[in-house]
A and B are shown apart, each in its own frame.
Chain A
Amino acid sequence: MVDEPTQQEAIRAAAEAVADRLEDEKEYLTELDSAIGDADHGSNLARGFRAAADAVDDEESTPEEQVKKIGVTLISKVGGASGPLYGGSIMSASQTFDEGVTAESSVAFAEAYLDKVKDRGDAQLGAKTMVDALTPAVHTFKKSIEVDELPPLTAFAKATAAAERGVEYTVPIRARKGRASYLGWRSVGHQDPGATSTWFIMQELLAVAANYLDGETDVDARSPTIPDETPDEVGDEA
């Protein structure tokens, strides 16, 4: 297990990396959102994550407190539906890090985050939302850790690859939730901005994690094994 000062440093580095990436992707995300939403996803997220990175730039907070602070800051700075979805879910899931960031607590965080997003957004798989990127990512991460017993970095790399497949899946399907759902069939053929930003965030978390952990980062979401046992169910599947 990585010691607590290193965890704190990694969380600060991750918050910075995500803030920088979303700033770089601001126009692209807004372009995606202008096709099927209200054209504010990029700027809202970039502003929020910049404030979140600034908010954790201290050395006193525990990892749990840092992650909670990121969530609380996003709630107040992002607004719209992304504020409660990203910020509220991070805030709520942060308690899984009460004993620090480990492979096990990271799986618990991922599951708690997905559950909260689904609950808050009342969205199931296939509604053309961030749930479509998160679900394959969380399932792949959980199985890679708990069944395949891969190194945590490799497991997270597979999860990130799984999120990318989820993002691609949002393109050809019709929106059932969020602003895009009002467009009905016109939403088909457009990539979901929330799924896309979720994948971008995971890519940055992976890049930062690679500075602290050993393992592969260039892997496919495919699994090398057929499990003997099934992990506990993640959430309630539609």
Chain B
Amino acid sequence: MIGLVVVSHSHKAAEGICELAAEMGGDPPLEPAGGDGEGGIGTDAERIGDAIAAADDGEGAVVLVDLGSAVMNAELAIEMTDANATIADAPILEGALNAAVEATNDKSTVDSVLEKAEEARTYRKTS
């Protein structure tokens, strides 16, 4: 199954988004990688790398990120891993929910999960 990693500056936000995504999407491998690793706000490449390793069962992983250094540290973590992992260019919460639903589909691939996650880019809240 495709694994999902949720990278936020806030540990609580990463945990909470994983919680919501798990409820929506059944039970895909979901790993939060939030905070700077020392209890503070921030992101950490090593922590993200560990989460990718934990989420990837060999089929690959899709990484959802919030902003700024989350993107840079996720890129760096991906460069340093052998896993087939890709960052979704999507809003972190809606993207994670979409990705979780797709990831529990038996036929899903990194590309299909990525595509579903990125569909969330166009979602509107009011119209």
CB distance from A193 to the nearest CB of B (A): 14
Decide: A80 near B43, CB < 8 A? Known: A121-B72, A179-B68. yes
Establish whether residues B68 and A120, one from each chain, have CB atoms under 8 Å apart when the complex forms: no
Chain A residues with Cβ below 8 Å from B46 are 75-76
A contacts with B, residue count (CB < 8 A)? 15
With beta carbons under 8 angstroms apart, the residue of A38, A76, A120, A179 that contacts B72 is A120
Contact B68 A178, beta carbon cutoff 8 Å: yes
Interface range on chain B (Cβ under 8 Å from partner):
10 to 19
Please indicate the chain B residues that have their CB under 8 angstroms from the CB of A84 in the complex: 45, 69, 72-73, 75-76
B102 within 8 A of A: no
Q: Is B42 an interface residue (CB 8 A)?
A: yes
**CB pair A81 B45 closer than 8 Å:** no
Give the CA-CA distance A52 to B127 in the complex, in Å.
52
A79 surroundings in chain B (CB, below 8 A): 36-37, 42-44, 69
The proximity string for B residues 62-98 relative to A, scoring 1 for CB distances below 8 Å and 0 otherwise, is 0000001100110110010000000000000000000
Contact with A along B28-52 (1 / 0, CB 8 A): 0000000011000111111000000
A194 contacts partner chain B, Cβ-Cβ < 8 Å: no
Q: Is the CB of A83 within 8 A of B68?
A: no
Taking CB as reference atom, which chain B residue is nearest A121? Answer: B72
The residue that B73 contacts in the complex, of A38, A83, A178, with Cβ under 8 A, is A83
Contacts of B79 in A (CB 8 A): 88
Residue A85 lies at the interface, judged by CB distance under 8 Å to chain B: yes
Complex CA gap A185/B101 in Å reads 41
Q: Is the CB of A80 within 8 A of B75?
A: no
Nearest chain B CB to A46 CB, angstrom units: 15
A81: which B residues are within 8 A, CB to CB? 68-69, 72
Q: With a 10 A CB-CB cut-off, give which of A79, A85, A120, A121 has the most chain B CB atoms.
A: A79
Residues of B at the A interface (CB closer than 8 Å) are: 36-37, 41-46, 68-69, 72-73, 75-76, 79
In the A-B complex, the 8 residue pairs with the closest CB atoms? A81-B69, A84-B72, A84-B76, A88-B76, A79-B36, A80-B69, A79-B42, A80-B42
8 pairs across A/B with beta carbons < 8 Å? A75-B46, A76-B45, A79-B36, A79-B44, A79-B69, A84-B69, A85-B72, A88-B79
Known: A76-B45, A121-B72. 18 other contacts (CB 8 A): A40-B42, A75-B46, A76-B44, A76-B46, A79-B42, A79-B43, A79-B44, A80-B36, A80-B69, A81-B68, A83-B44, A83-B73, A84-B69, A84-B72, A85-B72, A88-B72, A120-B75, A179-B68
Tell me the A residues contacting B by CB distance below 8 Å.
38, 40, 75-76, 79-81, 83-85, 88, 120-121, 178-179
